[in-house]
Structure formats: structure tokens, C-alpha cells
Structure 1
Amino acid sequence: MNDVIFETVVTTVAPDGRPHVAPMGVRYRNGQVILMPFRPSTTHDNIVATGHAVLNIVIDTRVFAGCVTGRREWPTVPAEQVTGVRLACALSHVELRLAEVADDPRRPVLHMARVHEARHAPFLGFNRAQAAVIEGAVLVSRLHMLPAEKVDAEMRYLQIAIDKTAGPAEHEAWGWLCDAVARQRAAAAAGVRA
């Protein structure tokens, strides 16, 4: 298996048409996109129910930070050839069809066939702050699994890139992540799960 994981945003729709936006690391293998959502997962449930998803390539890291901090509503436009939506801010997108499921009680493997691809804007690359926000979003998504000391050390290190290279969007996204860590710590101190 190719262990290189690319950070993307996957959009799906529920059977009733309600969109769902989720950051997700994906693998590319033999022309397919491999998704491995943890259970329970709205993304998994929507793909199994509809047979489709859309892979979005974005540089607006507020989407990553927003999704892991409860801000999941982002402007979308209809997909072109599958049931679903893509993010309006996507630089490019790939419309996907479920080809095969390797079921697993914890992390099923969804093999997705490419149906349609489109580019909407050039990708100029990530600045260090954008990469820091993505890494911070991964940390925040795992606050319940990681020791506080590890989270603090990594956030301090990532703060360097924010301080040196962030624009307004990255500062906003970073603020959401820092607030999420503070809320989780306050909830833990009060004896409740955030």
C-alpha cells in the first residue's frame, strides 16, 4: 500500500441531499482514490448510501480548521457528473464513484473510481502557515487521543510558522484551533468531554 497521504477535503451528500464537508487524508493507488474514514463517520455513511463523493483540493486552510472546530458549512456548487457538491473555493476537484469496499469495524477502506476532474484556479503552493494550520487541524481532531504535553509542544512549534508567514485567513484559522484546544482543556478540567 502507498503510505503517502495527501490532505484534502471530501464533500458528500446524505440521501436527503444535505451536504457534508470533511478534511480527509487520502491515498492514490492504481488510478483510484483510497479513503479510510474512521467509524462512526458521516462521510462513510453518505458514500455507502449514495455511491459518490467529491475530492476537493483547497488552499483556504480555514476549511480544514473550521471543520475540526464545528464550522462545517462552506459554500458549495453542484458536482458535474455525480450526485454531490464541490467546495466553491476548490482549486480543483475530482468527482468519485464507490468502486469497492473493504469493510472493517474501525476503518473501512473505500476504493473510489475517478469519474470527472476539473481545475478552477492554479495551485501556487502552500506557505508555511497554511501547512501549520493543516497540521494543527490534525492535532485538534485527535485531542481526545493525544497527551496534552504533546499537543502543547507541537502547537508551540507550529506557532513559529504562523508568526512568520500567516496572512489574515491563516490567523483566523489558527485562532479557531487555539480556541478548540482551550475549550477541550477547560472541559477536561471541569470533568466533561468537549
Structure 2
Amino acid sequence: MCLNYGGMIIESIVTTLNEAGEANFAPMGVTIGEGEILIRPYTDSTTCRNLVATGSAVVNLTDSIRLFAESAVSNPQFPTFAAELITGLVLTDACSYYECSVMRADTASPRATFRCRVVKKGVLREFIGFNRAKNAIIEAAILATRVRLLGVETILQEYRRLSEIVQKTGGEQEAWAMRYLQDYVERQPR
């Protein structure tokens, strides 16, 4: 597989549809290459089930940290519009997006591998970038998805460090996202 970026993982929101047309939004690191994208969801995830069922996804690149926080720990419904070349949905708050069609799937191990062909790339607005606070929220969202593996106390300890970064370098959106994720983790069984 010849992917560029040296195999670097890019954080995105992957949108998939189930066979009934219901949307799922999942924050996920993907590897973007020349004309293709590698998506590696866990086999027990909704994203994996939807990719197997429909063979398509939209990979959304966004600087809206709220999308990462909400989709990591809940089943939100965000504003979208229909993809053009696949059956799928594009986030209206994406900076850019890739409409993808599955070329090859390997679901034999706990992390499935979907090699997807990019059938369309779209740009909606300029990507402003991430500051330290936005990066901290990405890390907090990843930790929240692993609360069963790592435990509440371990994550809350790391959240104290991440919260300092958010307070020093973030704005309202980042402060909201940090509170949202912390509230979710604190509600989990200990």
C-alpha cells in the first residue's frame, strides 16, 4: 500500500450510514494517501458494521473541536448534506472532506482495515488549524473512548493536566468540550 504522509494518522470525523440510512459520526484517525484512505475501526464498532454493509464513508477534516468531543462519547446528529458520488453524508462544519468507496476490507482482527478509494474531494472552508487547547481536546476525546480499558481515575488524572492546557490556550469552544468530556467520564462506573 503506497500511502503518503509516511503513514501519519490524521484525525477526522468519519460519517457512515447503516442499511436503513441512519448516520453515524465517529472521530477516527485515518491515513490519507494518493487517491486512497485507510480506515481502521474496531470490528465491534458501528463504523465497521456500516462500512461492511454499505461500502462507503465520508472522511471529514474539521477544526470544530465540539464535533470531536460529542461524537466520541454520544450519538449526536450534526448538520450535513448529501455526498455527490457515494451514498453518504458530509458534515456542514467540515473544512474539507473525502467521499470514499471501500476497495478492500480485512475484518479478521480486532481492528479492521478498510482500504478505500477517494472518489471525490471537497473543500468547504479554510482549515485554521489546531492550537494546544484543540490538541488537548483531541487527546481527551480519545481517552474518553477508552474509559473501560483505562479506568475513570487514570483518565481524570490525565484530564487535570489537559484542563490546564485548555484554560491557558483555549476559548469557549474548547472549555465547553473539556467540560463535556469530563462530565461523561465522571458519570462512568468506577
User: Is the pair's TM-score, using the shorter chain for normalization, greater than 0.5?
Assistant: yes
Secondary structure of the residue that 2:26 maps to in structure 1? strand
Secondary structure of the residue that 1:136 maps to in structure 2? helix
Corresponding residue for residue 26 of structure 1: 30
Query: Which has the higher mean CA deviation after the structures are superposed, 75-84 or 141-150?
Result: 141-150
Corresponding residue for residue 192 of structure 1: none
Corresponding residue for residue 117 of structure 2: 113
Corresponding residue for residue 100 of structure 2: 96
The residue type equivalent to 1:73 in the other structure is Q
Is 1:127 the equivalent of 2:126? no
Is 1:35 the equivalent of 2:39? yes
CA distance in 2, matches of 1:161, 1:80: 39
Corresponding residue for residue 56 of structure 1: 60
The residue type equivalent to 1:13 in the other structure is L
CA distance in 2, matches of 1:29, 1:123: 19
Q: Which residue among 5, 8, 11 is the counterpart of 2:12?
A: 8
Answer yes or no: is the 8 Å Cα contact 2:15–2:57 preserved in 1: yes
CA distance in 1, matches of 2:153, 2:179: 19
Percent identical among aligned pairs is 36
Q: How far off is 1:71 after superposition?
A: 4.5
Corresponding residue for residue 191 of structure 1: none
CA distance in 2, matches of 1:169, 1:148: 24
The residue type equivalent to 1:19 in the other structure is A
Q: Which residue among 146, 163, 168 is the counterpart of 1:142?
A: 146
Q: Deviations over 1:45-98 (max 9, x none)?
A: 111111110000011111111012214211111111110001110001000000
CA distance in 2, matches of 1:13, 1:144: 26
Secondary structure of the residue that 1:145 maps to in structure 2? helix
Q: Which runs of 5+ in 1 are unaligned?
A: 189-194
Query: For this pair of structures, how many residues does the alignment match?
Result: 186
Corresponding residue for residue 84 of structure 1: 88
TM-score normalised according to structure 1 size: 0.90
TM-score normalised according to structure 2 size: 0.91
CA distance in 1, matches of 2:177, 2:158: 16
Q: How far off is 1:3 after superposition?
A: 4.5
Q: Which runs of 5+ in 2 are unaligned?
A: none
